[in-house]
Amino acid sequence: MLRLVSPQTAAVRAVKQALSVKMDKSFNTYCRLLSSKKFTVQDSLPHLPVPPLEQTLHKYYQSIQPLLDEEELEHTSKVISKFKAKQGPHLQKLLEERAKKKENWLSDWWKSQAYLNFRSSVVINSNPGLLLPRQNFEGLKEQLKFAAKFISAVIDYKIMLDEKKVPPEKSGMQPLCMSQHYNLLCTSRIPGIKCDTWQNFSEEKPSHIVVICNNHFYLLNVYGKKDRPLSIEQIYQQLKLIHSKSEEAAPPIGILTTENRNEWGKIYKKLMKDKVNRSSVELIQKSIFVLCLDQSVSSISDDNKTSVFAGQMLHGGGSHLNTGNRWFDKTLQVMIGSNGICGVNTEHTAAEGPPVIALIEHVLNYCYKNEERVLPAVGIQDPIKLKFNIGSKMLEAIENAKKNADSLIDDLDLTISQYKIFGKDFLKSMKLSPDAFIQVALQLAFYRLHQEPCATYESASLRRFKYGRTDTIRSCTVPSYLFTCAMDDSRVPALEKLQFLRQAVQTHKNISNDAISGQGIDRHLLGIKLTAIENGMDIPKLFMDTAYTKSMHHKLSTSQVSSKYESIMFYGPTAPDGYGVCYNPQSAKIGFAVSALNTSPETCSQKMTSAIHQSLSDMHKLTSEYQMAKL
């Protein structure tokens, strides 16, 4: 075995000692806080309902109409009727019984179905990236200064979480479940050979973050004595030390986290057999979060530089750049380059985009205030290098992971853009739901490019319910299809087009409201299917039907992730011949991230972006002209 690093028992001991600093406060205190009076809103949140079966089947039938021909529809109508008469009611009863016993009948299932059982690489396929507004700095010193501020801001947010002072969020008058906010820090996905797990280490009160620099991993204790957080200047000094010790690149052990999950699970098992490796990996998993000091991407044309920077956040830019300078299993990874580029990559198991945005908006507000809020701490420890024993087998695994990661990255076609002609304010003034309007524009854009409608997924938040995650809004509706056909038909008068548009927008708003109220289609059907599996019953034919397969092949996988800042989130497409579209509607503009795969001859993120912009402009013209006519 080729030993690149010798086992350092002293280093392991030092690390354990560093960790024990904050282990004295027991978990009971933490639990007491959680159940304290401040949590009554959370405690009183309603449980996720199980919708009536008839209602879901009726909505399901409506949702597949634009996707099927008449013969297929007739067949599916019979399949639905049989299901309603036979297995359906029994499965519904079993599901309702489950719902009575659980605070949320879906959340455990969802965690494993959507995330932990997912065996492809989490990179591009599951972890979203988030590009933050470019900061006005250049060079190493400024990079480290900004990173220090960023760390201090996250710790400030952590203290608010620890003290239960994060303002509860609402959607209109409805309080939202805040549990996801508590899943962002001190948490990690852990690979397994067939299925992963996920752990929250908050109870151990970790006091460190991990900094990755030139593929080296360092433990940086961000608290001094008496649990006092380090000041920005103190963190900066620590980062300087880390950077100065990381001049030569280390073998990119972090690139192993880009592997498909079964492969990474097998490698992980071997890696963890070594005591030194195990200690280092556990410290990464338990850390508050991971901060990656990135090398800058040079020589890129002005045209696509935002998209290249977004790629840096989503996948690291390739094994020759920053892809090894990562630990993709960590729930929160922050990336900061020396050219003012910064962003985040989040492991998705335990939280959606909006709680990440809440944390990041706090961080940016804090950074822009540009003031030292913390007095210097005493009892600072030097950063500790996390060592790895890497033998020839592990080096081979790293080389394989590099190749696999690079081909995954080469296949990604990503375009980031800002649509600046109008934003939310214009749409509100027209009495139109901004989200619904954008979704209809996506339908029009897709139809114009591909001359057909497509099954579409839009995330709907279920956070009105305790431990709620998401349901699906099936954005391709009969009215949206009618509008897309009418819009470019010269025989249809403008006023009629506008009526089709308004009808499509209103229908979208109605189905969104249903989904966020726990009356959606998809999670209910998933619950029915899993109930059959868990009870050893045959999977109903409803789920084998072409209609179901077609309606789950999401050529448009979309999500609104809004922020007051010009930040944009992105992820890969979920269908090989489809697009991932994420958008941030702001008052006067809309940010878009469109992804596709280069291996698909049918898709192109640039063309889709142009089609979205054009559709928005054409729909804007239609609505404004009518408004003028009314005046």
Q: For ligand COA, which residue of 265, 354, 423, 572 counts as binding (CB under 6 A)?
A: 354
Q: For ligand COA, which residue of 56, 126, 475, 560 counts as binding (CB under 6 A)?
A: 560
Strand order from edge to edge, sheet including 290-293: 384-386, 216-221, 208-213, 290-293, 332-336, 342-346, 129-131, 568-570
Least gap, CB of 517 to ligand COA (angstroms): 10
Cα distances (Å, whole numbers) of residue 234 to 14, 207, 293, 377, 598: 20, 15, 17, 8, 45
Using CB under 6 A as the binding rule, whether residue 459 contacts ligand COA is answered as yes
Report which secondary-structure segment, H or E, holds 152.
helix 140-162
CB 630 within 8 A of CB 439: no
**Among 373, 375, 317, 342, which Cα is nearest to 147's?**
342
Q: Return d(Cα 197, Cα 146) in angstroms, integer.
A: 33
Q: Return d(Cα 8, Cα 13) in angstroms, integer.
A: 9
Angle at 122 between CA 613 and CA 2, to 5 degrees: 135
Using CB under 6 A as the binding rule, whether residue 352 contacts ligand COA is answered as yes
Least gap, CB of 359 to ligand COA (angstroms): 14
- Nearer to ligand COA by Cβ, of 78 and 428: the residue is 428
Q: Return d(Cα 70, Cα 78) in angstroms, integer.
A: 13
The number of residues that bind ligand COA (CB under 6 A) is 20
DSSP at 37: G
- Nearer to ligand COA by Cβ, of 390 and 432: the residue is 432
Residues 299-328, interacting with ligand COA (CB under 6 A): none
Least gap, CB of 511 to ligand COA (angstroms): 10
Around 388, how many Cα atoms within 13 Å sit in the side-chain half-sphere? 24
Residues 422-441, interacting with ligand COA (CB under 6 A): 428, 431-436
Which residues are within 8 A (CB) of 455 and not within 5 positions of it... i.e. 6 or more apart? Answer: 67, 474, 476, 550, 551, 552, 553, 554, 555, 556
- The stretch near ligand COA (CB under 6 A) out of 226-234, 250-258, 458-466, 618-626 is 458-466
- Nearer to ligand COA by Cβ, of 223 and 419: the residue is 419
Using CB under 6 A as the binding rule, whether residue 561 contacts ligand COA is answered as yes
Q: For ligand COA, which residue of 306, 312, 559, 574 counts as binding (CB under 6 A)?
A: 559
Percentage helix, strand, coil for the chain under 3-state DSSP, each rounded to 5: 50, 15, 35
- Nearer to ligand COA by Cβ, of 51 and 354: the residue is 354
Q: For ligand COA, which residue of 318, 353, 468, 527 counts as binding (CB under 6 A)?
A: 353
CB 334 within 8 A of CB 149: no
First-to-last CA distance in the chain? Answer: 81
Using CB under 6 A as the binding rule, whether residue 516 contacts ligand COA is answered as yes
Using the Cα atoms of residue 118, residue 119, residue 122 and residue 124 in order, give the sign of their dihedral.
negative
- Nearer to ligand COA by Cβ, of 350 and 528: the residue is 350
Q: Return d(Cα 257, Cα 190) in angstroms, integer.
A: 10
Least gap, CB of 429 to ligand COA (angstroms): 8
- The stretch near ligand COA (CB under 6 A) out of 207-215, 324-332, 520-528, 557-565 is 557-565
The tokens of 15 are what?
């690390």
Q: Return d(Cα 514, Cα 238) in angstroms, integer.
A: 51
Please tell me which residue in 181, 208, 348, 554 is annotated as part of the active site: 348
Each residue 100-139 as x (binds ligand COA by CB under 6 A) or -, in order, gives ----------------------------x-----------
The tokens of 591 are what?
């940010």
Residues 3-32, interacting with ligand COA (CB under 6 A): none
Least gap, CB of 376 to ligand COA (angstroms): 38
- Nearer to ligand COA by Cβ, of 149 and 424: the residue is 424
Q: Which residue has the tokens 């958008």?
A: 583
Residues 355-374, interacting with ligand COA (CB under 6 A): none
Using CB under 6 A as the binding rule, whether residue 584 contacts ligand COA is answered as no
Least gap, CB of 27 to ligand COA (angstroms): 29
- The stretch near ligand COA (CB under 6 A) out of 138-146, 160-168, 295-303, 349-357 is 349-357
The tokens of 549 are what?
């397969």
Task: Based on the residue annotation, tell me whether 348 is a catalytic residue of this protein.
Answer: yes
Least gap, CB of 248 to ligand COA (angstroms): 38
Which residues are within 8 A (CB) of 592 and not within 5 positions of it... i.e. 6 or more apart? Answer: 415, 416, 417, 418, 419, 568, 581, 582, 583, 609, 612
Q: For ligand COA, which residue of 143, 258, 456, 512 counts as binding (CB under 6 A)?
A: 512
Least gap, CB of 353 to ligand COA (angstroms): 3
Positions in the binding site for ligand COA (CB under 6 A): 128, 352-354, 428, 431-436, 459-461, 470, 512, 516, 559-561
Residues annotated as catalytic (active site), given as ranges: 348
